[in-house]
Structure formats: C-alpha cells, structure tokens
Chains A and B, each alone.
Chain A
Amino acid sequence: MINMLQLLKQSKMILSRSLYLILGLCITGFYAYAGGPTDHPGENPATVRPAKDTSIKLPAGFTATTISEGLSRPRHITVTSNGIIYVKLAKLKDGKGIYRLDGKNGGGAIDKATGFGNFPGTGMVVRTGYLYASSDEEVFRWKLDADNNVISPDQPEKIVTGLLQRGEHEAKAITLDYAGNLYVNIGAYSNSCQVQDRATGSLGRQPCPILDSAGGIWQFKADKASQTYGDGIRYATGLRNVVGLDWNTATNSLFVMQHGRDQLHSIFPAMYDDKQSAELPAECLYELHKGSNCGWPYIYYDPFQHKKILAPEYGGDGKKTGSDDIQDPVVAFPAHLAPNGLLFYTGTQFPEKYKNGAFIAFHGSWNRAPEPQKGFFVAFVPFKDGKPSGDWEIFADNFSGGPELTASGRAKHRPCGLAQGPDGSIYVTDDSKGTIWKITYKK
C-alpha cells in the first residue's frame, strides 16, 4: 500500500530542491540572454571586453586587441579625430547599415554601439565635417557636429545616384581628397570583358564597352546633391575593380589597389596551366592622376616578367606585351589575394619606418584553387619621397587561423577595412566573421 504521508514528505523535499534547481537555471538563462561582456545582438551588438588577440602575428612591439565582435560583414571603417569609430556593413544588422562605436574609457574598449542608415554597402569616410557612405549604387553623406556626432541620422543627403550595379564587382568603395572631390570605384561587371563572361575560349569584346561607365574611378563633387554619371568625370580607366583606395596626403594623389582578373586556366586551358593561373596576374597598387589608364581588360601585369602582358582575350599568348600608354603599377603583389583595404599611415605611434607607408588588407584568395589559397593578412610597403623604399612585407598575419585554413581558403577571419585612429593606432575589420581589431605599438 502506498504510504501517502511518506510520499507527501518526499514530494515536498523534491519540490524544494527542484525549486532551487529551477531558480538556478532561470538565472543562468537570464544571464545568457542579457549577455555577458561578449557578443550579443540586443542593446550592444558589437561590444566586447577588449582582449589581446595573440593569434594575430605581428612584428615585435605590436599588439592586436579585439575591440568588437558580432557586427555583420563590417567593410570599411573610419575613426574621427576624437576617436569615434564609424563602420559600414555589407549586411544589415538589426536593420542598420552603419554602426558608430564609442568607448569612454580608452584602451579600445567599446561600450556603446549605435546603428543608423538603412542600406548595406562598403564605403565609409569622414572628411571636412561630413560622414560619407556608399551603397552599391549611391553615395550619401551626413553632416557631423563639432564633436563628430551625426546630426540627423535619419536624414542622409544623397550625393551620387544611378551608378551601375550588375552583381559583379558591385561594391562602390569611396575616398575623398582635401579639395572637395569624391572618388568612387565603379567596378567592371565582368571578369575580362569577354563576349561571354568567364566562358572557356570566349574572346574579348572589341573595344570593351564596359569602360565608358565602369571599370574605373569616377570623380564627383563632395558637396553637390544627387549627382549622376553626367555630373562626374571618369578620373581613371582600365581598372577592373578597386575596393582598397586612399588619398595619399604626402603625394597629394589617389592610390588604388586593383583586384586582378581570374581564371586564366579555366578560360584558356591550353595556354595557362593551373599553377600559372594561380600566380597570374599580380594584384597591383597604382598611383592615379586624371586620365590614368591601367589597362584592364587589354593587359594584365605579370610580376615574374615585370611586364604588361596582352590578355589572351585580346590575342595574347602569355608573352606578347600590351601598348605603351598604359601605366605601370607602383607595387605588384601575388595574384588573387584580393586587396580590400588601403591606408597610408601618417601617425607617429608606430616606428619611423611606417611613416607615409602603405598598409594593404588582403581579403584572401579563392581563385588560386586547385593550388593552395593565399592571403588573409595585412601587408606593408615602406614609402619615401612618394615612392616605395623597400619590398612589401607581411605586417599582420594569421587572420585565417592557421596554414591549413589559409591553404583551403576557409579562413576564420578575412581582413577588409583599414583605418587610422587619432593616436596613431590602426584598425582592421573582418567582413567574414565581423571582428574588429585595434593594433597598437609600444617600444
């Protein structure tokens, strides 16, 4: 027979013990929901307790600190003179395409993340009291007050509109000079201007009709509303796609990094083998002036022959060179590394050798397959008197997480945007996993 009293006693004990258990679980659940110091999409989607990231390999004296995680595809980034970080997202986060990151306590700690702007995109630059941002078709700006706060976040001013966007090379990276001009990359909607894009054996269109409205850098006024192609000028042509670009204040000129063409082997299998296809063409740094022609699609730069080689689409055979009125790169980097950020360093925090030199964020390759992929690092080129003064070197490495992840291309992080802070630190974004680092130097 069941002893009811005993059962009741037992039940009370179970109940009280269980209540403690439930309470414990509730507290855990609540804590997990409200978020600890790391990643949570709620009030502070991007805040983390800054932590040294020793997985990023740097030269002696440099430290990488993770200052933000959890933003969706952060692309280009800019830091104001009073330390406010603005970053552009290629994928909306809680409906917002720009995030402002604030840290009251210094040391890189972000304690507030505020979203605004309702379009995804790449470009993000602060210049002369305005924050400029781009979608894949337009450029907007917001007026900043004296403390670099956006005055009317819900009312951006449309500066440029109607830019071509056909899916390929669609990111409209931007920069500005200090003379009231805005520069916009309009990437070619094609790999090599073939009749049939990326098709085996398809030859190039003669002449390439893309160049009259894409495949170059367009210059607009920084302060005129709703400009279209007719209001701008084609500043430079023959550039397949530029994501990393910067105005060099030491030379007072525009520098760009080009994404070189893909698939030499897939398209011309008898002319290029897998290895040649993996190693050609170079990713090139160019210094541009009005009227510059960098040669796409007619030539590509071969970093082994140090020549502008006629593209096979235009009758090339891997040896024939292209015409002479095409300019040479300033630096030629290994093929397919995908340069997504360019920053000329003007700070004094880093050692003297870095002054006026160029940092390049290499997103990492995909088109070197079946050869191992490469990239996923930030490179540096020292400059003196406006020209490179030494070979390029890897500055910040191991964003991929290790050699196998680099080789397979399945990198943990992919460097994209670069910015310099008012104290001379530099910032790097990862548009794959969303991490943002601050890199500092201490003797």
Chain B
Amino acid sequence: MKRNYTILILAGGLLMLGTTLMSQTTKPAATTQARPASATQTAKPGATQTKKPAANGSATLGAGEMKASMDRGKKVYLEQCLACHQADAGGVQNMNPPLIKTKWVLGDKTTLVQIVLKGLTGEIEVDGDSYHNVMAPHSELSDQQIADVLTYVRNNFGNKAKAITAAEVKAIRAKTK
C-alpha cells in the first residue's frame, strides 16, 4: 500500500512536468501571413475530383505479384520520382513534399493516381508544412508503371497500404481529363 501511494504521487508530479514541457513546444496557431487572394492556389490535381472509383479488377495482389510490382516500381521511382522526392522520399523543404506516411500517399487512390497523371501546381500542405514546386505530369507512364511505383511508395519509406493495380489506374485514367 505504501508503494502505491508513492507511485501515484510520482506519476502526478511527472504528469505536471510533462504538461508544462508540452505546453512550451506547442506551435503558434497562425504561422503564415495570408497571401493576396489572386496569388493563393490550393493544390489541384488538374481534374474534376470523382467519388470513389467503382472496383474494377482485383484490388489485392498475391504476395509474389506484390513483390514483383514493387521491384518494378522501385525502378520507376529511381528514374521518375527520386530527383525531386529524394532517395529517402523525404522531399525538399518548401519545395517538394515528403512521401512518408502522408494522407496523400496513404489515402484516396484516385487522388494519388491523378497526381501522377496530371502533376501538381500551386501550394500543397503536408503535415503542417507547405510545398510549392511544380510537379510535372507523368501521363506517359503506362498503367502498369504507375501502379507499380505507387505500390512501391505505399509499401516503403515507413508506409503500409493496399497495392494499386494496373486495372485501377486504367479506370482512373479513363475518367481523368
């Protein structure tokens, strides 16, 4: 019983210490000045956003197929993505966003595929930082190449997400202007 009290009070003290330490690292709410309306652009993939695409073809790959896709995807990454997003997918401050555990990479497949197809202009916010270099379109890549590189990115660099298939890319490309 003696031990319990001590632990309880110790825990309470540490909690207080923790709270005061945390409060000194909170970022200020507004960090950037609002830009003039004409200059501000929110990220647009360049096509009308569609609702979730109808499931088209298999959305899951077998383990062997997954590995093969990722191996091919790594080659695409080295050739097409690394120059800007860097070898560790950490991006470049202010300019090229990171691809590590972000909602853009792990989230909606359609948005992600459309970014690869159409590129990205304007400012994009990722994890509280903004990036504004231009990303060129990569529509010249095949459905399979896009599926492979996205499957690779979504399952490397600390990411874990469902694979993307060539059939899914094909369907998204078909409805992307």
Interface set of A (CB-CB < 8 Å, partner B): 7, 10-11, 14, 17-18, 21-22, 24-26, 28-30, 32-33, 35, 40-42, 72, 91-95, 97, 118-120, 135-137, 165-168, 170, 190-191, 196-200, 202, 262-263, 265-266, 269, 277, 366-367, 369-370, 408-410, 414, 432
A-B contact count (CB 8 A): 127
Those of B5-63 within 8 Å (CB) of chain A: 5-6, 9-10, 12-14, 16-17, 20-21, 23-24, 28, 30-33, 35-36, 39, 41
* A432 proximity list for chain B (CB < 8 A): 93
> A29 to B13, alpha carbons, bound, how many Å?
9
Residue of A21, A28, A97, A168 touching B10 (CB-CB under 8 A)? A21
* A35 proximity list for chain B (CB < 8 A): 24
> A14 to B92, alpha carbons, bound, how many Å?
54
Contact B24 A40, beta carbon cutoff 8 Å: yes
Contact B6 A18, beta carbon cutoff 8 Å: yes
* A137/B13 contact (C-beta < 8 A), A94-B28, A200-B136, A366-B95 known: no
* A29 proximity list for chain B (CB < 8 A): 16-17, 20-21
Contact A369 B86, beta carbon cutoff 8 Å: yes
* B84 proximity list for chain A (CB < 8 A): 266, 366
> A421 to B2, alpha carbons, bound, how many Å?
63
Q: Is B135 on the interface with A (CB-CB < 8 A)?
A: yes
With CB as the reference atom, state the residue of chain B lying closest to A277. Answer: B83
Contact A200 B31, beta carbon cutoff 8 Å: no
Would you list the 4 A-B pairs with minimal beta carbon distance, nearest first? A25-B13, A199-B136, A167-B132, A18-B9
Q: What are 8 pairs between A and B in contact, CB < 8 Å?
A: A32-B17, A41-B24, A135-B33, A137-B36, A196-B136, A199-B136, A200-B140, A408-B88
* B6 proximity list for chain A (CB < 8 A): 14, 17-18
* A199/B137 contact (C-beta < 8 A), A29-B21, A370-B78, A409-B86 known: yes
With CB as the reference atom, state the residue of chain A lying closest to B9. Answer: A18
* A136/B17 contact (C-beta < 8 A), A14-B2, A33-B23, A42-B24 known: no
* B33 proximity list for chain A (CB < 8 A): 92, 97, 118-120, 135
